[in-house]
Copies of this chain bind each other. A is one copy, B any other.
Amino acid sequence: MTTAQALEKLKTFRTASFALGHAEGMLFYDGATVAPKGSAQVRANTLGELSRMSYELTTSPEIVEALETLKADSGSLDKVTSREVELLYRDYDRTRKIPKDEYIAYSRLESESDAVWHEAKEKSDFASFEPYLQKMFDTNRRIALYIEPQKHPYDTMLDGYERGLTRESCDAFFGSLRQKLVPLIRRVCENAHKVDDAPLRRIFPVEKQRAFSEYVMDLIGIDKEHCVLGETEHPFTTDFSKYDVRITTHYHEDAVASSLYSVIHEGGHALYELHTGDELQFTAVGGGASMAMHESQSRFYENVIGRSRGFCGLIFPWLKREFAPLLDDVDEDRFYRMINKSTPSLIRTEADELTYCLHVMIRYELEKKMFDGELKARDLPAEWNRMYKEYLGVDVPDDRRGVLQDSHWADGNIGYFPSYAIGSAYGAQYKREMQKEFDFDKAVKNGEIKRINDWFEQKIWRHGRMMDPGKLFESVCGKFDPECYVEYLTNKFSEVYSL
């Protein structure tokens, strides 16, 4: 096969692969937003079949030959194609090691497990979900061992989401974080009385919350021509190229901040996708560099921007006016403190910025133990509850607000959680870097979010997957320094609680 022929093959492959991915993503998005409840089985069948087609496409001898040809002649390729070949070959090398039947069965398991989890969560019925959860862990462990038989399978999982990430680096990161944050959290708890956020639990009509979401999307600069907001149980973002990005939220009348910060969080993911380079679209180099890089954006928009004093000042007049008279007894300063009230709590996605990482650590520890065989799915509720008591001092009243709360395990995203904590920690360093170029707090206060967007677009977004995530982060911020994150949290919460 000549290089020219191989390039032609790559082009054909790219189109087919994008189309199948688009279709799979579309079915998933529909299933999580508007599909009728009784449609899960049909969708699972179709997703299984599409994944069979993907598998056959990715491992077809002519594609492999094309990739090998291009790899051997990578010097003659343009930068994007050369990187694409590298990423595709890496992918192929993982996929080919998984037996085809296992690969297809896994796709079916994902859809079924997600559907069972939805029901189970609604009814707080762990027993019905338990066999799927066990199967999900078992299958992922087996697949990890197919991919890298010599390596600890949980390291393979971590590496799948964040290239280079290991149990060793996670242990070090979480260990130091826990050591430094726990005393701070204790001091905040002793001062809990200083912030009363009861007004945030008043009844905010859902129709108005919907309008608020649209306002917030505009405020952070989301292009609605290419991004829409849907409603779901567990908010997420998905995309089919930069030209079609979907974010989701959920509405609860008595929790206005819940939807607000879902919209900003998912909005951060969306901004990343919406600003990846034009030349990368429909190639394997499109999209975000990694999960941690993605979460570093969503968590930055949610917290470093969204929970800042400046941003609270921006949105408060709208809330006060449109939800009048609900917030008549609240002023801007109190609103900011309410938004940043820190309390050890039950639900990760609703957690404040300070205690958030403890939620992640619990999941990380449980995943490790599941992979080491120290725990079975049936042990998870009790162990979950024990750890919430130990780490956060809270009693878990039911599995709906405990082990069933997240969709990640149901969807097979095991090894993903650490990305949230690492991404959160990255944020403090982004802010430090930005401040070398402009007054970050002033920009937010003035509603100049575009300035921040432009900074990210130049430094991170437009590059897509051109660089491995660790390298990309270092090109922007230098060495990863969790201390910077600890300092950011210490300063912020000392001020909020006047410690």
Residues of A whose CB lies within 8 Å of any CB of B are: 15-16, 18-19, 22-23, 26-27, 29-30, 33-39, 41-43, 45-46, 49-50, 53, 207, 223-228, 230, 240-241, 243-246, 282
Q: Are A38 and B240 in contact (CB under 8 A)?
A: no
Q: Are A19 and B50 in contact (CB under 8 A)?
A: yes
Q: At the interface, is chain A mostly helix, strand, loop or mixed?
A: helix
Q: Which residues of B contact A244 (CB under 8 A)?
A: 35-36, 38-39, 42-43
Q: Are A37 and B225 in contact (CB under 8 A)?
A: yes
Min C-beta distance of A291 to chain B, whole Å: 23
Q: Are A39 and B207 in contact (CB under 8 A)?
A: no
Q: Are B230 and A39 in contact (CB under 8 A)?
A: no
Given contacts A26-B30, A41-B243, is CB(A228)–CB(B36) below 8 Å? yes
A-B CB contact pairs (8 Å), 8 listed: A16-B49, A19-B45, A22-B27, A22-B46, A23-B46, A36-B246, A43-B240, A45-B282
Q: Which residues of B contact A19 (CB under 8 A)?
A: 45-46, 49-50, 53
Q: In whole angstroms, what is the CA distance A46 to B27 when docked? A: 14
Q: Which of B15, B23, B228 makes the CB contact (< 8 A) with A34? A: B228
Q: Which of B35, B41, B50, B227 makes the CB contact (< 8 A) with A228? A: B35
Q: In whole angstroms, what is the CA distance A90 to B22 when docked? A: 30
Min C-beta distance of A279 to chain B, whole Å: 16
Q: Are A42 and B241 in contact (CB under 8 A)?
A: yes
Q: Which of B35, B41, B43, B53 makes the CB contact (< 8 A) with A16? A: B53
Q: In whole angstroms, what is the CA distance A49 to B241 when docked? A: 16
Q: Which residues of B contact A33 (CB under 8 A)?
A: 34
Q: Which of B27, B43, B223, B243 makes the CB contact (< 8 A) with A42? A: B243
Q: In whole angstroms, what is the CA distance A33 to B15 when docked? A: 25
Additional A-B contacts beyond A34-B34, A34-B228, A36-B245 (11; CB < 8 A): A15-B49, A16-B49, A19-B45, A19-B46, A22-B43, A23-B50, A36-B225, A36-B228, A37-B225, A38-B223, A43-B240
Q: In whole angstroms, what is the CA distance A16 to B207 when docked? A: 42
Q: Which of B34, B41, B224 makes the CB contact (< 8 A) with A36? A: B224
Min C-beta distance of A192 to chain B, whole Å: 39
Q: Which residues of B contact A230 (CB under 8 A)?
A: 34
